[in-house]
Structure 1
Amino acid sequence: MGRRYRLYPTQEQGTVLTGWGHTARALWNVALEQRKYLWEQRRYTLRSAEQCKQLTAARADLEWIRELPAQAGQQTLRILDRAYDNFWNPNHPADFPARKKRGHRLSVPLPGQAVEVRKLNRRWAEVRLPKLGWVRFRLSRALGGTIRNATVSQDGNGWHISFGIHTGRKPAAPNGKPGCGVDFGIASSAYVSTEDKPRQMPPTLTKNERKRLEYLEHKKARQQTYAKKHNGGKYSNRLRRTITAIGKLRTRQANRRSDFTHKLTTDLAKNHGFVGIEDLRVKNMTKSANGTVEEPGRQVRQKAGLNRSILDNTPGERRRQLEYKSGLYGSELRPVPAFHTSQTCAACGKVDPESRKGCGRLFACVHCGHEDDADHNASVEIEARARRTGGTVTNSTRSTTVRVPAPGRRRTRETQPATYG
């Protein structure tokens, strides 16, 4: 289990952590380029065990690497190993490991043996970081287990520390509660089949916050244009303060979105025996409509706005949370095919696009006369498909079943493309 706490370093400690974050980012980029080069030139697969030996030699010659704790550098290389393994795993959605830009969130990973935690009182505790000493953090909840790893990171709200905790908790037995289907959408954030009203995500920014964000974005654009014309692209302190203010608003927005997502998924997993959702391909749904120079896209700005609305409801993150929370609360996640869920009548099972004209909220079946909210009708259809799922995936509530294909064979490194390192 993961535990995340707000960290309160002193000004001197914050400066040191910022330097460590940039060093860890640079180390990641150098290690990634080294692996890609060796594969392209020699077809040699480099792993962290060998790179850790090279890191030890580099620390003796390069001061900027020596300032980073050795445990943090070694942990960075191990994480790069895991990124490669996830990429080659056909059942994992990870892409090929990418370089980290300077604007990437600063983070310093550490193994569990390198940190020590002591409790000060009911609300505060301290963590001892190598080469830095004790740093206070807000004890918002108990650790509840043994620390396996730790990551110090920074976002718009300041510094945080995350612990990977071994709790020893085992998957719960089936809770025996009734199941449900959930339709995730834009007009309705989530419509549960057993409820008569949708669950709406509150606005992640207030009206004044949206105005301020728009003002800051325009201000940033003006300052960047000035920097390119007069400062050779170098950012001024004013521009950096503007970027920091934007980051604070964006982080606040992300935290509110995450709060709603966690509360929603916890309630669904805890109070239902199974949760049926659509097996969505979010990447395909949010592809850009720009097109090419020869064949430019149509309604590009409208599609961009739709993509932002889809991603704002985080369908992928909701599914990820339901996957692990269902095991904790004795429920089961059942993804079902998403085709025709919005055009299938939950009463008679007939599929007809005429039953759902346009993008209205009303579903009126042209065959049996059944009327319902379109999103609620889809959630009932999703629940019916989920009930029929048992090692198979169903096409609809009344159609034949299609066998789930066997997992694809794991690709070997001998067939690795030269461009992927």
Structure 2
Amino acid sequence: MKRHRGHKAKVYFSPDQARAAEEQGHASRAMWNLIHDWWTLLPKQQRSLAAADEAIRQGRKDLPWLGVLPAQAAQQVLKTYFQSWRNCWDGRSEEPTFKGRFRSRMAIDIPQGRDLQIVRLNRRWGRMWVPKIGHVLFRWTRDLPAGKRADKLNKVTGARLVREADGWHVVFRVRTEVPEPGSHTGLTVGIDRGIVKPLALSDGSFREHGPWLTSGEAERLRRLEKAKERKRRSRKKGEKTSNRLTRTYDQIAQLRARAKRRAVDWQHKTTTGIAQQFSRAGVEDLKITNMVKSARGTVEAPGKNVRQKAGLNRAIAGEAWGRTVNMLEYKMADRGGIVVKVPPQGTSQRCSVCGFITPGNRDSQARFTCKAEGCGHQGNADTNAACNIDHAAGLAVSGLLSLRR
């Protein structure tokens, strides 16, 4: 079967190449905004892909600064914009909006893999071609089907240059031909996601991690946040952001990016281990966006415990539960396993032994004690919830869960 994956690598530009990439990144963002204005201002009957394509061609002729963006990259911006509307119409995302200069990430598409001309120079370095920039170096951390290793079934189909806090990266789109995975023979497991215990498994084990930043890094981040607020207060309304404040923003972004890289690394290693060990993983079908909504309320009806809820929201966002499930889904599928999402109602209050449900079953955040007569089951609350999730996943696979509901 065909497998489509992305591979990310660090890119190293020369100063001139970095400036050219910056210009292309700004032009790509401006192209998106122009297409968005064109789409929203025109009547519905005049909107079409052909008309948008003609508008892009004319815009690149009339505006020289748009011409720094390669034609294929401009076409890819149009395709991405139209796809975002399709996702909106299908209910998978919100409507596309204007991309702000400081709120959006720079990205440049290279839609054709043959334009990349990837060459491996040695064990650590590779070289590729970027239109209107030239040959650039990138870190070779994984074998790519490029050069003599490429064929019709195994090849790099395209790439995207992305600027992050620690510099530019390239994300290769890799297509490979792999054999169909056989049936996984491992056990089943239920996974409860939390804050104190990031992942609690139904077999009684936990997957835990420490702080993403060391104590020194956390203290430096705290000082930078205070410096940021102090410099923002001294800045007059409408005044241009100073170089010092911009540098402080960059330093904060670099620390947060470091924490995210460590979190993603832990998630990759943890989900790989789970996918190798278990054949079926049950998880709760959580509406995370609803869980992290602010409790501030309105002027007429102000919220309660706003600061506590804000801290909980930050903790939930820091664990990135959705990203963990996304990684687990494709890794389980690669190994012949499945991920089953079950309704979250009652998983933390139901006894995994007798099935009795009452809010009093959970004595505390970490302790579960069944109040049913003749049961008295005791154990870790997260492990009990994971057992309930595993049981519900088995019912969902067998079709009994839908009948019971």
TM range (shorter): over 0.9
1:417 is matched with which residue?
Answer: none
List per-residue Cα deviations over 1:361-383 (Å, max 9, x = no partner). Answer: 11011111111100011111111
1:158 matched to 2:158? The reply is no
1:363 pairs with 2:352: no
Q: CA RMSD in A?
A: 1.6
Q: Does 1:372 align with 2:352?
A: no
Partner of 1:22: 26
Instruction: State the secondary structure of the residue aligned to 2:365.
Output: coil
CA pair 247-393 structure 1, distance change in 2 beyond 3 A: farther
CA distance in 2, matches of 1:393, 1:242: 56
In structure 1, the partner of 2:40 is: 36
Identify the residue that residue 149 of structure 2 maps to in structure 1: none
Aligned counterparts of 1:48 and 1:222: Cα–Cα separation in 2: 48
Matched with 2:59 is 58
Alpha-carbon shift at residue 157 of structure 1 (Å): 1.1
1:393 and 1:123 map into 2 onto residues whose CA distance is 53
Q: Deviations over 1:5-40 (max 9, x none)?
A: 0000111111111111111111111111211222xx
1:362-407 Cα shifts (integer Å, max 9, x gaps): 1011111111100011111111111111274738xxxx523xxxxx
Residues 238 and 363 of structure 1: is their aligned pair in 2 closer, same or farther, counting only changes over 3 Å?
A: same
Q: What's the counterpart of residue 324 of structure 1? A: 330
Distance 1:324 1:118, change over 3 A: same
Using the TM superposition, give the Cα deviation of residue 108 of structure 1 relative to its aligned residue in structure 2, in angstroms.
0.8
2:135 paired with 1:134: yes
Q: Quote how far apart the aligned CAs of 1:171 are.
A: 4.7
When residues 211 and 47 of structure 1 are mapped into structure 2, their CA distance, relative to the original with a 3 A threshold, is farther
Letter in 2 for 1:315: W
Cα distance in 1, alignment partners of residues 182 and 357 from structure 2: 37
The 3 A distance-change label for structure 1 pair 292 and 31 is: same
Name the counterpart of 1:419: none
Residue 260 (structure 1) shift? 1.2
Aligned to 1:305: 311
Report the CA distance shift for 1:355/1:45 in structure 2 as closer, same or farther (over 3 A): farther
Q: Percent identity?
A: 35
**Residues 3 and 272 (structure 1), Cα distance of their counterparts in 2 relative to 1, 3 Å cut:** same
**CA distances 1:193-217 after superposition (whole Å, capped 9, x unpaired):** 12x3321122111111111111111
Counterparts of 1:96 and 1:208 in 2: how far apart (Å)? 41
Q: Taking structure 1 as the reference length, what is the TM-score of the superposition?
A: 0.89
How far apart are the structure 2 equivalents of 1:177 and 1:63? Answer: 60
In 1: Cα distance, 2:95 partner to 2:398 partner = 30
Q: Which runs of 4+ in 1 moved over 6 A?
A: none
Q: Say which SS state the counterpart of residue 118 (structure 2) adopts.
A: strand
Contact conserved, 1:182 with 1:379, CA < 8 A, in 2?
A: yes
Offset at 1:248? 0.5
Range with greater deviation from structure 2 (111-120 or 379-388) = 111-120
Take 2:175 and 2:229, find their aligned partners in 1: how far apart are those partners? Answer: 46
The 5-angstrom pairing of residues 89-238 of structure 1 reads 89-90=90-91, 92=92, 94-103=93-102, 104-112=104-112, 113-144=114-145, 145-169=154-178, 171-194=180-203, 196-228=204-236, 232-238=238-244
Letter aligned with residue 365 of structure 1:
C
- Report the AA paired with residue 293 of structure 1: V
Matched, 1:351 2:357: yes
Deviates most, 94-103 or 377-386 = 94-103
Deviation at 1:68?
1.2
- The answer to whether the aligner puts 1:394 opposite 2:401 as a matched pair is yes
Q: CA separation of 1:55/1:393 partners in 2, compared to 1, >3 Å: closer, same or farther? A: farther
Report the Cα offset of residue 180 of structure 1: 0.5
Which residue matches 2:12? 8
What CA deviation, in whole Å up to 9, does each residue of 1:214-264 have, x standing for no partner?
A: 1111111222222226xx420111111111111110100111111111112
- Give the structure 1 partner of residue 272 of structure 2: 266
Q: Secondary structure at the match of 2:239?
A: coil
Q: Which residue identity does 1:53 align to in structure 2?
A: E
Unaligned runs of 5+ in 2: 146-153
CA distance in 2, matches of 1:123, 1:259: 20
Distance, in Å, in 1 between the alignment partners of 2:53 and 2:158 is: 18
Q: Which residue of 2 aligns with 1:410?
A: none
Unaligned runs of 5+ in 1: 403-421
Q: In 2, distance between residues paired with 1:84 and 1:355?
A: 46
User: For residue 127 of structure 2, what is the amino acid of its counterpart?
Assistant: E
1:364 partner letter: T
Q: Distance in 2 between matches of 1:384 and 1:390?
A: 10
- In the aligned structure 2, how far is the partner of 1:7 from the partner of 1:236? 28
Q: Which residue of 2 aligns with 1:85?
A: 86
Task: Show CA shifts across 1:144-167 (max 9, x none).
Answer: 431222111111111100011111
Q: CA deviation at 1:48?
A: 4.0
* Matches of 1:32 and 1:100, distance apart in 2: 9
